[in-house]
Amino acid sequence: MKSVLKKLFAPVALALALTGCAENPQDIAARPAIVDAMVQNSLDICQTGLVNADKAAYETRLRTVLNDVGRTSSLKEMQNHNLTVCLDQRLVHQNLGFWDQHVKAVMYRDGDKGGIVSLYDDGRAPGEVGFWSAKPSAYSWGARDISRLAAKFQDGKISEKDNLMYAARESCGKHCSDIYWRTPASFDKDTQAKNPELAKPPVPLPVQKPAS
């Protein structure tokens, strides 16, 4: 009976772990301060523009994305590598053909001196995006972008030489898709050729070390 129950509840336990519900009390307690620091650092560093000119609206969008990240350890991983998370409106205006991969996020680094993680952002507030919205927004994949990048760092799959990486949604099996981070050598060459500006960070590197 016990083995049957284990099999029944194993998927539930896994789902809870992936969504951050299995976090330890220390991480849960630390999360608000970590999010606050990451938001303030983004406000201090990230490029403003037509979409991001209203800092209060920008803060709301970014805070929503960061709070959606499943595990606090993923946020801490960004801080550990001196990475500032920016909402980047450039990713909305990609020149793409039918078969080209759509860039969801980009990581720019100068080793451990600091860097930027640019996330897709079309400027819509959380309340303007419905659950079934077909149009991408900052909330579509932003949290997953961060989680998957953090996992690659934690697994030792990002080297000191990996100073530019692109994230895109790819198939992970039947009826399954996920975010995959790839170096320029393994990312869609057509997308890169048609959008050369995305190889350059929105602000010069290295940026100041993020507050923690």
Cα–Cα distance for residue pair 75/143, rounded to 1 Å: 10
pLDDT digits (tens, 9 = 90+) for 137-168: 567 788 999 999 999 999 999 988 899 999 99
Closest to 101 (Cα-Cα) out of 8, 186, 7: 186
From CA 184, how far away is CA 165, in angstroms rounded? 6
pLDDT band at 211 (very low <50, low <70, confident <90, very high): low
Report the percent of the chain where pLDDT is more than 70.
Answer: 75
- pTM value > 0.85: no
Contact 198, 168 (CB under 8 A): no
CB-CB neighbours of 9 under 10 Å: 11
Distance CA 132, CA 8 (A): 30
